[in-house]
Structure 1
Amino acid sequence: MGIEWEALQWGELITLLMIGTALGMDAFSLGIGMGMSGIRLLTILKVSLTIGIFHIVMPLIGIGLGLFLTSYVGHVAAYIGGMILVALGLHMLWNAFFGGKERSPLLKTTFWGLLLFSFSVSLDALSVGFSFGLFRVNVMLAVSIFGLMGMVLAAAGLLLGRRVGSWFGEYSEIFGAVILLGFGIKFLL
């Protein structure tokens, strides 16, 4: 029995790591777009920590809401996330063409911009939280892994975007906006 239990624990850990990586990939991809605007390291730390916290809180909210809302909210969550990302992308484009040298206020990670961005990349974690009601999952382990993976992958995307953004110079905000718009439209379709 000890060997079976040990194998089950490793299987659960590997599964949770895979789900955490999948959830964090949105943060990584969108972080590239946000990082292309040339954000500072302290800002990368703030954004990454906030995304990590949201990747913990959103599945817990999903678990709390329960199975009753799974199909309805899971469908709506993708649309809400898509609309937020399209709005952020359009805002970045507007600022790139009509805002002069000033960077987008949302990308200065104002309190609301940071929450909006973190919320949009963490909506899929809400849906995953709903599904936890169907399985026996170690909730604390799961949300810890999701938070850690969301934070690490967001930081990696932001750092990569920051590096790539310096290559594109003044066009980096336009490229970042196109990335956010693309993902937003993908979520809406």
Structure 2
Amino acid sequence: MNLLSLFVLALGLSIDAFAAAVGRGAANGAPHVGAVFKGALIFGVTEMITPLIGWAVGWAFSDWVEAVDHWIAFGLLAAVGGHMAWHAWTRDHDEPPPPKGLVGLIVTAVGTSIDAMAVGVSLALLDVDILVAAPIIGGTTFVMTAIGLTMGRRIGEAVGHRAEIAAGIGLILIGAGILWSHTMA
């Protein structure tokens, strides 16, 4: 997986954190710099750790699945992307805002990072250097969360769910590209 693909993947994984941050920003008003940094740091670090966990699991089982690793990577990315797009398309856009406070922030960060764990499994099967991938994923999420928190009130809910749909489709396309490159090579 090349660097551009890693950045696209990171952007796709950070969209749900961005959407949650937009919701928080819209519900809580304009946050101060410290709150933006704290929220972005919690989301970024969580999004960096979860693919490491997934990668460790995928690496542990990589010898057993080497012949079909590209199918597994495609399946996981397609499932995560499909779920992300479907959830954004079908959810009630009048949902209450995410829970407030530090605990609510951490719970939301973990909830939006589960997909990164599944992607981490795929990265291990594709022999991607996780020490490069995880910081890119975490850093991208940090930036996207900071933007979402800062501009939440102006961005609004309509853009948030469209971005989630696009990110889900993007993850499916990355998975299809992996499958294509392994089956056509």
- Offset of residue 39 of structure 1: 4.8
Separation in structure 2 between the aligned mates of residue 146 and residue 110 of structure 1, nearest angstrom: 22
- Offset of residue 139 of structure 1: 0.9
Aligned to 2:4: 14
Aligned to 2:114: 123
Structure 2: gaps of 5 or more residues: 66-71, 169-185
CA contact (8 A) 2:50 2:114 kept: yes
1:109/1:151 Cα in 2 relative to 1: closer, same or farther (>3 Å)?
Answer: same
RMSD: 3.8
Secondary structure of 2:128's counterpart equals coil
Q: Which runs of 4+ in 1 moved over 3 A?
A: 67-72, 89-92
Percent identity, please: 28
- Offset of residue 90 of structure 1: 4.9
Secondary structure of 1:126's counterpart equals helix
> What do the CA deviations read for 1:129-179 (whole angstroms, capped 9, x no partner)?
0101211211111001000000001111111114x28xxxxxxxxx76xx7
Q: 1:63 aligns with which of 45, 48, 55?
A: 55
Structure 1: gaps of 5 or more residues: 1-10, 93-103, 166-174
CA contact (8 A) 1:31 1:157 kept: yes
**Greater Rg, structure 1 or structure 2?**
1
Separation in structure 2 between the aligned mates of residue 39 and residue 109 of structure 1, nearest angstrom: 15
1:61/1:24 Cα in 2 relative to 1: closer, same or farther (>3 Å)?
Answer: same
Separation in structure 2 between the aligned mates of residue 159 and residue 64 of structure 1, nearest angstrom: 34
Q: 1:47 aligns with which of 24, 39, 47?
A: 39
The amino acid that maps onto 1:43 is A
Report matched runs for 1:81-160 at 5 Å: 90-92=95-97, 106=99, 108-111=100-103, 113-160=104-151
Aligned length: 148
